[in-house]
Amino acid sequence: MRRELYDLMTDSCFQCGAVLGAPPALCAACGAVQPFRADLSLFAVADLPETYDLDVQALRTQVFALQKGLHPDRFAHAEPTARRHSLEWSTRLNEALAILRDPLRRADYLLRRQGVDALGEQVKVADPTLLMTQMIYRERLEELVAARDVTGMEALRQEVDTAGVHVVQRLHRLLATLPCAEPEAAGSAVRELQFLDKLLGEIGRSAESLQNA
Amino acid sequence: MAYSEKVIDHYENPRNVGAMDKDDRGVGTGMVGAPACGDVMRLQIKVNEQGIIEDAKFKTYGCGSAIASSSLVTEWVKGKTLDEAMTIKNSHIAEELELPPVKIHCSVLAEDAIKAAVEDYRQKQGGAQVVVQPVMASAQTAH
């Protein structure tokens, strides 16, 4: 146990002692899958710099490359510990891809890294402008559904989409340096984006059900 | 998710859906939203000169529990004084609608909405006591 802890701290292979690369998941020297490191951030797991201005294509390439070496299928016949470790790394890599490629979840993750939970279940919004805008969007959608206006719905979708793009631009400014110096403003931008995302989902479902009807 | 019969009843036959003129001095409007689920709720009360809530309307975009919670609150507040309306607790709503733990936050939203509506009305009347609206986490949570 003592030796294992020491190895984890120095990022050297638990099996052969060789120095590990980043992420410290597979030993390049002996090929052993390393014990999972829950302390690593999603960025560190994908060996990417922790930044909001993330190259999503690079993230994808990186995760797929790492998955090749760590996928549980490769360890199907390995001993149970190695199988478990590969599963843990692999699951975490999937999580990194899912969260970091999404501008909303990436921003939320970065804020949570500095102790700000912008989207917690207890978090509520009383910003009248934001709520009023949402109400108006929702009412418009309701009217469009009633009128079976597919064209109008597409226009609304584009409008909401553009509103979301503007919020993401705001987040790029707010999260340009980390930790974010204005967590309140960033948190409220994340909440606004979440409302817009939910609304986009709602518009998509409504459009689909109109087209299928 | 299994909804209780009461939730389904309010969801299928929501009471008091609609809007009032928010610029009317006798109308208090409360708007709240839950980003976690994207719900938006507007609850309005019409208060008479005796300080009694004569009428209430709501419009909620959200799940069945959020709609049922706000529908129920509009029923409850009619005929009540403002102070009485302020005593409505999310736990009463959750109990009446038999909400499962994961839906408790919907009843919290409805409680916040009625409180915000009363505050809005009071502010319009010259603000007897101005209580700060809950901007972030409120004291009553699911836990």
Res B1: pLDDT: 58
| Residues B121-136 pLDDT 10s | 999 998 555 454 555 4
Comparing CB atoms, the residue among B59, B61, B136 nearest residue A123 is B136
Greater confidence (A2 vs A10) lies with: A10
> Taking the model in full, what pTM does it have?
0.83
Q: What's the pLDDT tens digit per position in A73-90?
A: 888 888 999 999 999 999
Structure tokens at B60: 């909620």
Q: For residue A36, what pLDDT is reported?
A: 95
pLDDT surpassing 90 at residue A170: yes
> Which residues in B lie closer than 8 A to residue A131 (C-beta atoms)?
31-33, 40, 42
Q: For A195, which of B33, B133, B142 is closest by C-beta distance? A: B33
Q: DSSP per residue over chain A, as a string? A: -HHHHHHHHHTB-TTT-PBP-SSTTB-TTT-PBPPP-TTS-HHHHTT----SS--HHHHHHHHHHHHHHH-GGGGTTS-HHHHHHHHHHHHHHHHHHHHHTSHHHHHHHHHHHTT--TT-TT--B--HHHHHHHHHHHHHHHHHHHTT-HHHHHHHHHHHHHHHHHHHHHHHHHTSSSS-S-HHHHHHHHHHHHHHHHHHHHHHHHHHHHHH-
Q: How confident is the model over B64-84, as pLDDT tens digits? A: 899 999 999 999 999 999 999
Neighbours of B126 (CB within 10 A): 6
Q: Say if the Cβ atoms of A121 and B105 lie within 8 Å.
A: yes
Asked whether the beta carbons of residue B116 and residue A118 sit closer than 8 angstroms, the reply is no
Residues A124, B112: C-beta atoms closer than 8 Å: yes
pLDDT at A9 over 90: no
Contacts with A, B 90-129, CB within 8 Å: 105, 108-109, 112, 116
pLDDT tens digits along A187-201: 999 999 999 999 999
A121 at the B interface (CB within 8 A)?
A: yes
Where in the sequence numbering do the catalytic residues of B fall?
Answer: 37, 106
Average pLDDT, chain A: 92
Tokens found for residue B59: 């419009």
Q: Does A132 touch chain B (CB under 8 A)?
A: yes
- Which ipTM did the prediction report? 0.76
Span B13-67, pLDDT tens digits: 999 999 999 999 999 999 999 888 788 999 999 999 999 999 999 999 988 899 9
pLDDT above 70 for B141 = no
